[in-house]
Amino acid sequence: MNRQSPFFRLLKYMRRYKLLYACLIFTMIVGTALDLSIAWFLSLITNAAVKGEVETWPILIFLAIGMIFFIALFSYLDTYFKQKASLNVRNDIRLDTLNHVLRLPQSYYDKNHSGELLSRFTSDNQAVGEASGHIIMGLLKNPLLALCAFIYLLNIHWPLALISISIGPLMILVGKLFGEVMRKKSIILQEAMGKATSFLQDVLGASVLYKVFGLEKKISKQYQQYSTKISEIERSQGKIQGSANAVSASIATMSFMIAILVAGFFVAKGNLEVGAMAAFIQLMNYLVQPFSQLPGLWSSMQQALAGAERIFQIIDSPKEYEKLPEQGRASSFGTLTVSNVGFSYTKSENDMALRNIHFCATAGQTIAIVGGSGGGKSTLFKLLLGLYSPTIGTIEIDGRCEESMGLRKYRDYFSLVPQESILFTGTIRDNILDGNFMADETSVINAAKKANAYNFIMTLSEGFDTEIGERGSRLSGGQKQRIAIARAILRDAPILLLDEATAALDNESEKIVQDALAKLMVGKTTLVIAHRLTTIQNADLILVMENGNLVEQGTHNELLLARGRYHSLYYAQLEGEEVTEKILMDT
């Protein structure tokens, strides 16, 4: 865990752009000098006017034009550099966040909502960008401007200068007090926003469900609660910000009033030139303005640092890989051995999702995993894929466990066709190529043909370039499965995990997908989670799982002869299917 404060960690990102920040400091210094030059110009013009020096006017006009030009130029450069610095830092942090997120273990995703993660990429990232641009430069420029204005004021009239500067400590105290409160509120606000984003993400990704179940009102009410909470926090932030502004503005106005009353008094007594008073009033603005802006900037910085803290929390979470791994594929495979494996999600002995699992799969074999709901079938897959490590026991491939060969190399042995095909937004070709980025067009076409997907792809107007929509929403269930199978074919890994890949399909679609799967399974070691026991009669080994235990294992015939759990499951299912068929025939 990195214990450095979020501010110092942010500085590290900013240090990558030293030249840019050097330019910003340069524009800041020139900008400050240009600000002060206005006060000087004001005193010059007032004194010339009071003394009736008309002949100096051409020089004054020339000076004014020069000042306008430089003020415009440096104002542009200042904004440009700030924006550039801020965007660079934002971009670096965004990429580092993603590169870390991609290496987070599965347990992180199981515990945290993806919407929460998303908000770190959006609102938190934006706040951090602002901190590294206009906020930090504001925090530097304002004290510099105040200091220079003070030195100038000292030159004009030191007692007045001291009256004017008395505002400083008070303003800083105000900033500190309100800034800390704002920071705490910001953390609460970002958390509330994260929850609202997670909720929205769930809802917007499930439009069919809320339409069918008529959940619109319920969802609207729920969102109203999230939204109201956000508004309440923002309102209370507004009150704090308003109070901070009111306190600092009244302190600033009060000291301004005192100073000009005293300055006017000195002019009336003949101790101060009128031009000096004009310059003084302008300089007072430069002294007051920074002090009135500093509390606001300080509290914005605190808010941004709260965002940075949330981002760094992710970056500090334990990761699976040191570097982003490369896609690869294992070329040879002999035996997969699962020895006395036990596993608990909560790391508690009393809460084991798997107990004492042991079996062996050799090259080319098909192993079916069956059993009741919650039996531990998917958990076993997660362990096989290296998403979780066994709490007890070992999983070895050709005598080597995941720790000894490295997680990426271990995962290279596997390919997966999940229960619900997971496809990415993009084209059909992009999705198939995810199996192997290096594959050429012919391999993509062959994989699609083997997966029984080629014909339907060619009926689409854009063919392989067809955009499939969010998670493949423009494709049917069976089409998505076949794209997922084509992807697995291209991956060509020696061990194939199938998770009830045809459970959600109708008969015809199931046949096409089953046929594609049969071609995918050729020459592979396949582990298949199956609910339809009739589809796995030819499996080399059937594992029957109940409540995390491996209660039986053997071939279909062996298990039927044993008349145990498999026997009852098999006949219960057969009877169920016969009854369904009879009902269908009667109707």
Ligand X SMILES: Nc1ncnc2c1ncn2[C@@H]1O[C@H](COP(=O)(O)OP(=O)(O)OP(=O)(O)O)[C@@H](O)[C@H]1O
Give residues in contact with ligand X (CB under 6 A).
110, 345, 353, 373-379
| CB nearer to ligand X: pick between 374 and 523 | 374
**Integer CA distances (angstroms), 381 to 122, 373, 376, 421, in order:** 34, 15, 9, 16
| Between 373 and 461, CB nearer to ligand X | 373
Helices (H), 385-453: 402-405, 407-411, 428-433, 441-450
Which CB, 310 or 377, lies closer to ligand X?
377
Residue number, 340 or 346, with CB nearest to ligand X: 346
Residue pair 194/200 in contact (Cβ under 8 Å)? The answer is no
User: What does the DSSP 8-state code read for residue 189?
Assistant: H
Beta-bridged to residue 401, according to DSSP, are 396
Give yes or no for a contact between 329 and 160, defined as CB atoms under 8 angstroms apart. Answer: no
CB nearer ligand X, residue 24 or residue 369? 369
> For 102-135, where are the alpha helices, taking DSSP H only?
106-111, 114-121, 123-130
| CB nearer ligand X, residue 262 or residue 392 | 392
Token readout for 499 is: 């998770």
Closer to ligand X by CB, 117 or 451: give it.
Answer: 117
Mapped onto helix, strand or coil, the DSSP state of residue 342 is: strand
Considering the complex, what minimum distance in angstroms separates the CB of residue 460 from ligand X? 33
> Least separation, in Å, of the C-beta of 346 and ligand X?
7
What is the smallest separation between the CB atom of 502 and ligand X, expressed in angstroms? 15
Report in angstroms how near the CB of residue 533 gets to ligand X at its nearest: 13
Radius of gyration, CA atoms only, the chain: 35
Shortest distance (Å) from residue 126 CB to ligand X: 32
CB nearer to ligand X: pick between 383 and 512: 383
Whichever of 376 and 386 has its CB closer to ligand X, that residue is 376
Instruction: Pick left, alpha or beta for residue 270 (phi over 0 → left; psi -120 to 50 → alpha; otherwise beta).
Output: left
* Closest CB 521 distance from ligand X, rounded Å: 21
User: How far is the C-alpha of 235 from the C-alpha of 45, rounded, in Å?
Assistant: 47
Q: How open is the CA angle 78-80-82, to the nearest 5 degrees?
A: 65
CA dist 147 and 376 (Å) reads 69
Q: How far is the CB of 293 from ligand X (least distance, A)?
A: 49
Distance CA 349, CA 352 (A): 6
- Rounded Cα gap, residues 146 and 135, in angstroms: 17
Q: How far is CA 432 from CA 141, 233, 421, 509, in A?
A: 54, 46, 12, 20
Dihedral sign, CA of 349, 355, 360, 365?
negative
Shortest Å distance, C-beta 113 to ligand X: 13
Distances (CA, A) of 380 to 109, 195, 383: 18, 31, 5
Minimum gap (Å) between residue 373 Cβ and ligand X: 3
Residues comprising the chain, all counted = 587
Q: Could you tell me the smallest distance in angstroms from the CB atom of residue 345 to ligand X?
A: 3
CB-nearer residue toward ligand X: 328 or 374:
374
